[in-house]
Amino acid sequence: MADIAQRAQSMVRKDDKGGFPAQTQEPPGSFQVMDPVPDHGEETYQGHGRLTGMKALITGGDSGIGRAVAIAFAREGADVAINYLEPEESDASDTIDWIERAGRKGVKVPGDIRDRATCEQIVAEAVEQLGGLDILVNNAGFHWDKSEPGIAHMAAEHVERVFRTNLHGTFYVTQAAVENMQSGGAIINTTSVQAYEPSPTLLDYAATKAALTNFTVNLAKELGPKGIRVNAVAPGPIWTPLQPATRPEEKIETFGANTPLGRAGQPAEVAPAYVFLASPSDASYVSGTVLGVTGGESVF
């Protein structure tokens, strides 16, 4: 992890504002044109066989945190299916290449999880091509931070997309996945520090992440007797395509600078939290927990 942290620190602007060069993209965005390109652990993550023989589905697995988790899972010995939107095909193909370089099977299951039938199809295809399902990572998410602060300025289409992607999609993917999971399985949801320290311009996003925190704890109680663990990771500001695609350029220049560590995190710095929670040995007695990876911000 020291090498990853040092590389992440070197990517931060060397001035008094922190953050990154001003830039913008259209949603959903691509990591390939970001400046700098995020570190997903391509050159640094080393596996130790924690997930040998397991089969995982990751939503939003083409880029950002999902891509870093996919690479880490593969290097830990898991076969991995990634879900993504069709405009993200190039990023997805590159991620599959890294999974296969690790000697594991990589499966692409594109589709928009805002639609319930699509959620069911995504899970069915992943299960069929992987030959089962042991780990589900609900990572796909959306926010929109280009509006003025306040509920009056939030466009209906953005609010609808945020709720349907972050909350509805997670619910329906999980519902379909649980039918295919056995004792020893793990579900990991991506919530956010916004669930605990919400920003006025992310009112809808923060609400969905708070709901996912409750969903995690509640589902852990239901599935515990079945031997399925349910946990969540709450990232702070992480350098992913969601940032230049959904934030104003001027906010990119200071993105992450207000954390106690003084910078945004890299996806590679978040992935080990998912590996820990997915591991049937390391986290065998961990369920109903939210693990913060926030650069020092509180998730309590």
Q: Where are the beta strands (DSSP E) in 63-139?
A: 79-83, 106-108, 135-138
CB 255 within 8 A of CB 241: no
From 172, 205, 274, 285, the catalytic residue: 205
205 is catalytic: yes
- Sequence-distant contacts of 158-166: CB under 8 A, at least 24 apart: 158/204, 159/204, 161/114, 162/204, 162/205, 162/208, 163/204, 163/208, 164/114, 165/113, 165/114, 165/140, 165/141, 166/140, 166/141, 166/142, 166/205, 166/208, 166/209, 166/212
CB 243 within 8 A of CB 255: yes
CB 204 within 8 A of CB 152: no
**Whole-number Å distance between alpha carbons of 181 and 130:** 13
Q: Which residues are identified as catalytic? A: 205
